[in-house]
Amino acid sequence: MNTVIHKLRLSQTDAHYGGNLVDGARIVALFGDVATELLIRHDGDEGLFRAYDSIDFLAPLYAGDIIEVEGEIIRVGTTSRTMRFEARKIITARPDIAESAADMLAEPIVVATATGTCIVPNDKQRDADG
Protein backbone atom coordinates (compact mmCIF):
# COMPACT_ATOMS: atom_id res chain seq x y z
CA MET A 1 0.00 0.00 0.00
CA ASN A 2 1.47 3.34 -1.05
CA THR A 3 -1.12 5.62 0.63
CA VAL A 4 -1.96 6.08 4.32
CA ILE A 5 -4.52 8.33 6.02
CA HIS A 6 -4.59 9.13 9.74
CA LYS A 7 -7.55 10.97 11.30
CA LEU A 8 -7.42 12.67 14.69
CA ARG A 9 -8.86 15.38 16.87
CA LEU A 10 -6.46 18.12 17.90
CA SER A 11 -6.72 18.49 21.66
CA GLN A 12 -6.17 21.35 24.04
CA THR A 13 -2.63 20.04 24.63
CA ASP A 14 -1.92 20.60 20.90
CA ALA A 15 -2.70 24.33 21.26
CA HIS A 16 0.54 26.27 21.44
CA TYR A 17 -0.44 29.88 20.85
CA GLY A 18 -3.16 32.26 22.00
CA GLY A 19 -6.67 31.56 20.80
CA ASN A 20 -6.01 27.78 20.89
CA LEU A 21 -3.93 27.97 17.70
CA VAL A 22 -2.03 24.75 16.95
CA ASP A 23 1.69 24.98 16.17
CA GLY A 24 2.73 23.99 12.63
CA ALA A 25 5.33 21.70 14.20
CA ARG A 26 2.45 19.45 15.32
CA ILE A 27 1.49 18.93 11.68
CA VAL A 28 5.10 18.15 10.73
CA ALA A 29 5.15 15.51 13.50
CA LEU A 30 1.95 14.00 12.06
CA PHE A 31 3.53 13.89 8.61
CA GLY A 32 6.37 11.93 10.25
CA ASP A 33 3.89 9.47 11.79
CA VAL A 34 2.30 8.87 8.39
CA ALA A 35 5.75 8.42 6.82
CA THR A 36 6.60 5.81 9.46
CA GLU A 37 3.49 3.78 8.66
CA LEU A 38 4.16 4.06 4.92
CA LEU A 39 7.71 2.73 5.39
CA ILE A 40 6.57 -0.13 7.62
CA ARG A 41 3.93 -1.12 5.06
CA HIS A 42 6.40 -0.84 2.17
CA ASP A 43 9.67 -2.10 3.69
CA GLY A 44 8.85 -3.67 7.04
CA ASP A 45 11.01 -1.05 8.77
CA GLU A 46 10.45 2.44 10.18
CA GLY A 47 13.36 3.92 8.22
CA LEU A 48 14.55 7.46 8.83
CA PHE A 49 13.27 10.79 7.58
CA ARG A 50 16.12 12.42 5.66
CA ALA A 51 14.70 15.78 4.57
CA TYR A 52 11.64 17.76 3.65
CA ASP A 53 11.86 19.33 0.20
CA SER A 54 8.97 21.68 0.90
CA ILE A 55 6.41 22.42 3.59
CA ASP A 56 3.58 24.86 3.08
CA PHE A 57 1.22 25.93 5.86
CA LEU A 58 -1.96 27.11 4.19
CA ALA A 59 -4.61 27.57 6.89
CA PRO A 60 -4.75 27.67 10.71
CA LEU A 61 -5.72 24.77 12.96
CA TYR A 62 -7.23 25.06 16.42
CA ALA A 63 -7.74 22.79 19.40
CA GLY A 64 -10.93 20.81 18.78
CA ASP A 65 -10.49 20.62 15.00
CA ILE A 66 -10.51 17.17 13.44
CA ILE A 67 -8.06 16.56 10.63
CA GLU A 68 -6.96 13.85 8.29
CA VAL A 69 -3.32 13.56 7.31
CA GLU A 70 -2.57 11.70 4.10
CA GLY A 71 0.76 10.50 2.81
CA GLU A 72 1.76 8.69 -0.33
CA ILE A 73 4.98 7.18 -1.62
CA ILE A 74 5.47 8.77 -5.04
CA ARG A 75 8.94 7.45 -5.90
CA VAL A 76 10.94 4.42 -4.79
CA GLY A 77 14.71 4.42 -5.13
CA THR A 78 17.23 1.83 -3.96
CA THR A 79 17.07 3.11 -0.38
CA SER A 80 15.07 6.33 -0.74
CA ARG A 81 11.31 6.78 -0.64
CA THR A 82 9.96 10.12 -1.84
CA MET A 83 6.62 11.03 -0.30
CA ARG A 84 3.98 13.71 -0.54
CA PHE A 85 1.78 14.75 2.38
CA GLU A 86 -1.44 16.69 2.81
CA ALA A 87 -3.26 17.68 6.01
CA ARG A 88 -6.94 18.58 5.73
CA LYS A 89 -9.36 19.99 8.29
CA ILE A 90 -12.62 18.01 8.07
CA ILE A 91 -14.39 19.26 11.23
CA THR A 92 -13.92 22.68 12.75
CA ALA A 93 -14.29 23.55 16.41
CA ARG A 94 -16.93 26.21 17.15
CA PRO A 95 -16.08 27.66 20.57
CA ASP A 96 -18.02 30.79 19.54
CA ILE A 97 -21.22 28.72 19.92
CA ALA A 98 -20.28 26.48 22.86
CA GLU A 99 -17.16 24.88 24.32
CA SER A 100 -18.04 21.52 22.75
CA ALA A 101 -19.64 22.74 19.48
CA ALA A 102 -18.18 21.70 16.13
CA ASP A 103 -19.23 21.75 12.47
CA MET A 104 -18.64 19.23 9.70
CA LEU A 105 -17.12 21.02 6.73
CA ALA A 106 -18.87 20.61 3.38
CA GLU A 107 -15.41 20.47 1.79
CA PRO A 108 -12.17 19.71 3.61
CA ILE A 109 -9.76 22.63 3.98
CA VAL A 110 -6.17 21.86 3.01
CA VAL A 111 -4.14 23.24 5.90
CA ALA A 112 -0.63 22.00 4.98
CA THR A 113 1.25 20.17 2.25
CA ALA A 114 4.76 18.79 2.10
CA THR A 115 7.13 16.58 0.16
CA GLY A 116 10.07 14.74 1.64
CA THR A 117 12.45 11.82 1.42
CA CYS A 118 12.90 8.91 3.79
CA ILE A 119 15.69 6.34 3.77
CA VAL A 120 15.50 2.63 4.49
CA PRO A 121 19.00 1.11 4.40
CA ASN A 122 19.31 -2.01 2.24
CA ASP A 123 20.02 -4.25 5.23
CA LYS A 124 16.78 -3.10 6.93
CA GLN A 125 14.51 -3.64 3.91
CA ARG A 126 12.31 -6.69 3.90
CA ASP A 127 8.97 -7.74 2.55
CA ALA A 128 6.45 -5.98 4.78
CA ASP A 129 4.55 -9.26 5.12
CA GLY A 130 7.40 -10.80 7.04
pLDDT of residue 103: 95
Distance CA 36, CA 24 (A): 19
Beta-carbon neighbour count of residue 129 at 10 Å?
Answer: 6
pLDDT digits (tens, 9 = 90+) for 75-90: 999 999 999 999 999 9
Residue 130 falls inside a structural domain: no
Name residues whose C-beta falls within 8 Å of residue 85's C-beta, 6 or more positions apart in sequence. 31, 34, 35, 69, 70, 71, 72, 112, 113, 114, 115, 116
Residue 29 falls inside a structural domain: yes
Residue 33 falls inside a structural domain: yes
Residue 22 falls inside a structural domain: yes
pLDDT under 70 in the chain at which residues? 1, 128-130
Residue 129 falls inside a structural domain: no
Beta-carbon neighbour count of residue 34 at 10 Å?
Answer: 21
Total structural domains in the chain? 1
pTM metric for this prediction: 0.92
Find the CATH number of the domain harbouring 57. Answer: 3.10.129.10
pLDDT of residue 99: 86
Residue 15 falls inside a structural domain: yes
